Amino acid sequence: MKYSPHEYQKYATEYIETHPVAAVFLSMGLGKTSITLTALNDLLFDGFEIHKAIVIAPLRVARDTWPAEIEKWDHLGSLIYSVVVGTEAERLAALRRQADIYIINRENVQWLVEASGIPFDYDMVVVDELSSFKNHQSKRFRAMMKVRPKVGRIVGLTGTPSSNGLMDLWAEFKLLDMGQRLGRFIGQYRTRFFLPDKRNGQVVFSYKPLPGAEEQIYRLISDITISMKSTDYLQMPQFVSSGYEVYLSEEETQRYVSFKRDLLLQLPDGEITAANAAALSGKLSQMANGAVYTDEGETIAIHDRKLDALEDIIESMGGKPLLVAYWFRHDLERITGRLHKLKIPFSRLDSSKSIRRWNSGELPVALIHPASAGHGLNLQSGGSTLVWFGLTWSLELYQQTNARLWRQGQQSDIVVIQHIITKGTIDERIMKALSEKDTTQAALIEAVKADLKI
């Protein structure tokens, strides 16, 4: 296919080519893969500035999306690529193959650096989903920092750079510029820009930015960062977000309130405990969805309110395809049980085959887990409506999952995102938290937005 880039795509490509260290924050659907591949192609064969590049991406994106984009565009026909996934033997064979671009999933970064036995001699690194390296204590981050001084060029791509707040940015930019802008040590960054927030004695659980800290941080990183929103450059479909509220019975509400208050709920079928606030949050989310795990790992059904709501939503679709996001394993089991009972064809989007079936219109209902399918999948051809059966605290996964439908190439004029919310439960707090987290990220995106004259 002939590549006819938009002006913003030309701008972003040139930015990567002219900035050896670049943070490119592109909203979902703006074509970051084709933009980056075009830059790689130019640097390899026009400028001769690099000879070997490696792309680090989520597994499905590494395995499916990057190869598909290379094969798709005519101007990338000279690129030779090797996908480094699979068993260790398969990965080693892929690394030993002569190629211009090597594509590896992020889970194998530590193995690549420390255990593969293959020299890390790439002169350009592309990190697809830079937010995957926001934890400076992770093995993948530490492994990459060992070889970072060897790399002449590096590009970090993401649409959600600070999904959980400004603290995420330190590790991401340390990987890019080795601490030049935000400091070499996380302690320095905290002291300079943050105050302790929630704490228990000497133990600090969270930090809040000092007055003016956001603006200072944005200014420090602005020389290597561009940001673009899809709504600025594309004729995007209308985005409609709505809630479908369900209500617990008096008995179900009492169970929920008692467990929240006492962290202990006695049921005829088993005992559930919550040892800390994080575990309690998870248990309350399970209860809001309709079932909960016991300490022995068994599932106890609490209510079918969300299942009934989902059935109503499916019926209201009138045969049009519906994408359903679930979170817990028992959500999946209960949803599939209801769909079997209703004799509605469906599939989990957990393979290339199921994704093809969805995009070709064969599936009236498809089930997706945000953590395994949030990044990089193009699902806009299969439908335009997504319902959240179970919510997530992660803004990044939430936005990325919504963007599987609300993106360039969506044929519908309207994309509808529905949330089944159990009133009076933690569902309402999660929705509020997602909204508040987006405020900080939106400020970052706006602060470093590319000044394009289009």
Q: Give residue-wise pLDDT tens across range 95-123.
A: 999 999 999 999 999 999 999 999 999 99
Predicted confidence at residue 233, as pLDDT, reads 81
Cβ neighbourhood burial of 61 (10 Å; 0-12, 13-18, 19+)? buried
Instruction: Copy the structure tokens of residue 452.
Output: 């394009």
Phi-psi region of 10 (alpha: psi -120 to 50; beta: other; left: phi over 0): alpha
Positive or negative: CA dihedral 342, 348, 354, 355:
positive
Pairwise CA distance, residues 50 & 122, whole Å: 9
Pairwise CA distance, residues 338 & 169, whole Å: 42
Please state the φ and ψ torsions of residue 103, each to the nearest 5 degrees.
-120, 120
| Equal CATH topology for 7-233+442-447 and 235-247+303-423 | yes
Question: Residue 44's closest CA among 22, 75, 10?
Answer: 75
Pairwise CA distance, residues 287 & 297, whole Å: 15
Predicted confidence at residue 150, as pLDDT, reads 95
Pairwise CA distance, residues 110 & 229, whole Å: 32
DSSP 74: G
Pairwise CA distance, residues 303 & 385, whole Å: 25
Predicted confidence at residue 453, as pLDDT, reads 46
Three-state SS at 96: helix
7-233+442-447 belongs to CATH 3.40.50.10810: yes
Helix (H) or strand (E) holding 77: none
Q: Length of the chain, please?
A: 454
What is the distance of C-alpha 407 from the center of its chain? 15
CB-based contact 335:310 (threshold 8 Å): yes
Domain residue spans of the chain: 7-233+442-447, 235-247+303-423, 249-302
Query: What is the CA angle 376-323-243, rounded to 5?
Result: 110
CATH class of 235-247+303-423: alpha beta
pTM for the whole thing?
A: 0.76
Instruction: Copy the structure tokens of residue 408.
Output: 């360039």
How do beta strands 270-273 and 264-267 pair? antiparallel
Three-state SS at 179: coil
What is the distance of C-alpha 173 from the center of its chain? 18
Pairwise CA distance, residues 53 & 51, whole Å: 7
For tokens 């609300």, what's the residue? 406
For tokens 């420090």, what's the residue? 220
Question: Residue 126's closest CA among 41, 179, 18, 54?
Answer: 54
Pairwise CA distance, residues 305 & 154, whole Å: 49
Which stretches in the chain have pLDDT values below 50? 274, 453-454
Pairwise CA distance, residues 319 & 299, whole Å: 31
